[in-house]
A and B are shown apart, each in its own frame.
Chain A
Amino acid sequence: MPEANQAALRSGHHGEPAEHPRNPNLQHHFMDMAQQQEASALGMWVFLVTEVMFFGGMFFAYILYRTWYHEGFIAGSHHLDLFWGALNTVILIVSSLTMALAVRAAQLGNRRGQIVNLILTMIFGAAFLGIKAIEYAAKFRDKVIPGRHFEWHEADPTGAQAFFSIYFAMTGMHALHMVVGLGIMSVILFMAWRGRFNQDYYTPVEISGLYWHFVDIVWIFLFPLLYLLGRH
């Protein structure tokens, strides 16, 4: 290999002068920061595809059981509190906005903007979980927890139990993703606090944002499918 090429590889900047400083955040196996960021984002998307298939399985169960137990699903949906569900939808959309603004602040190297927006995102995420806890507590009080002590005095108890099984499986799995998201955001907030991100390097904020938005999208589908059945 010609010596000029080796020097270029060592410096990490293919075809650029060797004296151009190499970004300390650039891993040795990438050509430049742009390639590194694109690879990271693509890797995150591949992970999100597995998440789509994971939640997709539960959405399939929802479709199938809703076809089988149409009445029970409508009765079960009526039992959910539309106010809390709608409020949580609004809260998650606001948190997605602040998350997008946090990524933008990172792109501009604005440390204060990152910290403020990440904290806001986490507050909204925690509020979502708090409301979910209020809803779950009400379900326990009303004894609509699937299992031996399930109590149902309306139409189609079997179907209603199927509805609540799917309700708890899907919202529970979604809430678990929110908890994981809050953990990820704590790390990102700490890194932002330390001033780790700038115009050249903000990949962790970007791909954590992808995760947060994905969890928001899952709720965008869960809300009408669980809360809004046969409201008319």
Chain B
Amino acid sequence: MADHAATHAGHTHGHIAPVSMYITIFLALMAGTGITVAVAYVDVGFFNTAVALGIAVTKATLVILYFMHVRWASRLTWLVILASVFWLILMFTIGMTDYLSRDWMGVPGR
């Protein structure tokens, strides 16, 4: 507990961020929303989805790091969050690998 006493001096345990930081993140999220809508009207083929998802991931990361205070959270919290992302990617890739490859080989009797 010695490190706790050192990192959490005083009475408050969490990091108190200034209001200006919350406003900055808020404006970044609004800008991201505007860009998402604007880009949707420009035809860049496959990249429409990639750009939309890229902005959504960026916005989600900002919310997680700053609004949800994960930037100042313990490494154990980071591990839990990254584990969820890892399992999500596993579900998407292995699931899609299965469905998309089903027609690749002829199945006898079908």
Contacts and interface: CB of A to CB of B under 8 A. Distances in A.
Given A108-B16, A199-B11, A224 B55 contact: yes
Interface residues of A, number: 57
Tier of interface size on chain B? 35 or more
Given A37-B14, A213-B63, A93 B42 contact: no
Interface in B1-34: 1, 4, 8, 11-14, 16-17, 19, 22-23, 25-26, 29-30, 33
A90 B29 CA distance: 9
The B interface, classified by DSSP as helix, strand, loop or mixed, is helix
A221 B54 CA distance: 10
Nearest to B29: A93
Chain A at the B interface: SS class: helix
B91 A232 contact: no
A1 to B, nearest CB: 18
Nearest to B59: A220
Contact of B37 (A46, A104, A228): A228
Given A35-B4, A213-B63, 17 more contacts: A33-B13, A37-B13, A46-B80, A49-B83, A52-B88, A53-B84, A53-B91, A56-B88, A96-B63, A97-B23, A97-B26, A104-B19, A107-B16, A199-B12, A209-B68, A220-B59, A223-B33
Interface of B: 1, 4, 8, 11-14, 16-17, 19, 22-23, 25-26, 29-30, 33, 36-37, 40-43, 48, 52-53, 55-56, 59-60, 63-64, 66-69, 73-74, 76-77, 80-81, 83-85, 87-88, 91-92, 95-96, 99-100
